[in-house]
């Protein structure tokens, strides 16, 4: 496990024009499209209770508890190998924790089942893109609607009766997402031919096609240049504002985390070492030590 590629936690200069907490005088281009401070955070929608997860001798998560409130942007941060992706994998049922439970909208689960989680309204994007590279942008985003397709395969294939109407409705929903993400020009382009930043945007589109209540984003801005990050931040904020979607965001860029998250949970070597507002976390000595690599 290496902490080498992690950013020091002090590197929190607002890197983005969309700085939500302290808007610049007059506002930026981003602020013009946002209603700063208008959102209301609700009750707890997702409660992670004492989760422990091991892979053989590797303890990926040790007794982790935190909650996520409706409509908030909740960041999960931590050095490489801290257990962030494993945490999302427990929440959406890819991994089964040895201990603990997850309560989603009042229902408690020892093991989240991937399909059931999706049906309950949790969608996710992946650290390593999981798109169909040879398929068009439109078809990739359409694949996010699979859960919502009700008519049977034969009717779909023949495109008759209710299946035809249903397909039209799904296409309309997908077109709206394409417009929202400003990727109209690439609708028919195979995803593999797009620059990486746009592929990440398509991955977000595929998750949005599920019309989720909770969106789990695993490093949606990794590998992006500054401009692409600004765009992605704006889309995440807009999804959160316009659709009221709760967002759980894993992100290494501290500028982004401090800019857009409401609360932050910090993991290090599978343990929770911080939890609170961006300012709380930024000033937490354990967090600073972990990011400087001197805590062990």
Ligand X SMILES: Nc1ncnc2c1ncn2[C@@H]1O[C@H](COP(=O)(O)OP(=O)(O)OP(=O)(O)O)[C@@H](O)[C@H]1O
Q: What character string, x for contact with Mg ion (CB under 5 A) and - otherwise, covers 105-144?
A: ----------------------x-----------------
Q: How many CB atoms are located within 10 Å of the residue 80 CB? A: 12
Nearer to ligand X by C-beta: 219 or 262? 219
Overall residue count recorded for the chain in this entry: 296
CB of 85 to Mg ion, least distance (A): 3
List interacting residues with ligand X (CB under 6 A).
Answer: 1, 55, 58, 60, 78, 80-86, 127
Distance of alpha carbon 169 from alpha carbon 177, whole angstroms: 13
Nearer to ligand X by C-beta: 86 or 245? 86
| Strand, helix or coil for residue 217 | strand
Return all residues near 163 (Cβ < 8 A) that are at least 6 apart: 151, 152, 155, 156
For residues 124 and 247, the answer to whether their CB atoms sit within 8 Å is no
Residue 240 within binding range of Mg ion, rule CB under 5 A: no
CB of 189 to ligand X, least distance (A): 28
CB of 222 to Mg ion, least distance (A): 9
DSSP bridge partners of 246? 214
Q: What is the helix (H) or strand (E) element at residue 51, kind and residue range?
A: strand 44-55
Nearer to Mg ion by C-beta: 123 or 267? 267
Q: Tokens in use for 163?
A: 């299946």
Q: How many CB atoms are located within 10 Å of the residue 276 CB? A: 15
For residues 18 and 34, the answer to whether their CB atoms sit within 8 Å is yes
Residue 85 within binding range of Mg ion, rule CB under 5 A: yes
Nearer to ligand X by C-beta: 81 or 278? 81
Residue 89 within binding range of Mg ion, rule CB under 5 A: no
CB of 252 to ligand X, least distance (A): 7
Nearer to ligand X by C-beta: 77 or 215? 77
* Contact footprint for Mg ion (CB under 5 A): 84-85, 127
């Amino acid at each position: 496990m290496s902490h080498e590629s992690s950013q020091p936690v002090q590197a929190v200069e607002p890197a983005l024009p969309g700085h939500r907490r302290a808007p610049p005088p007059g506002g930026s281009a981003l602020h013009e499209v946002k209603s700063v401070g208008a959102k209301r955070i609700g009750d707890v929608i997702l409660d992670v209770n004492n989760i422990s997860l091991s892979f053989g001798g590797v303890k990926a998560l040790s007794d982790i508890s935190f909650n996520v409130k409706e409509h908030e942007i909740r960041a999960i941060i931590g050095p490489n190998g801290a257990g962030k992706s494993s945490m999302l994998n427990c929440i959406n049922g890819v991994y089964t924790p040895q201990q603990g439970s997850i309560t989603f909208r009042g229902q408690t689960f020892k093991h989240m089942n991937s399909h059931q989680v999706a049906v309950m309204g949790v969608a996710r994007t992946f650290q390593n893109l999981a798109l169909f590279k040879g398929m068009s942008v439109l078809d990739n985003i359409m694949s996010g609607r699979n859960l919502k397709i009700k008519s049977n395969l034969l009717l779909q294939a023949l495109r008759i009766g209710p299946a035809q109407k249903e397909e039209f409705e799904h296409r309309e929903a997908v077109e709206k997402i394409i417009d929202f993400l400003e990727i109209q020009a690439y609708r028919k382009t195979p995803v593999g031919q797009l620059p990486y930043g746009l592929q990440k945007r398509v991955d977000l589109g595929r998750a949005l096609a599920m019309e989720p209540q909770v969106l789990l984003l695993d490093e949606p801005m990794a590998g992006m240049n500054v401009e692409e990050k600004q765009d992605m931040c704006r889309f995440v904020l807009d999804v959160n504002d316009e659709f009221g979607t709760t967002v759980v965001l894993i992100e290494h860029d501290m500028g982004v985390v401090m800019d857009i998250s409401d609360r932050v949970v910090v993991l290090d070597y599978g343990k929770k070492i911080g939890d609170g507002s961006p300012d709380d976390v930024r000033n937490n000595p354990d967090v600073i030590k972990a990011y400087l690599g001197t805590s062990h």
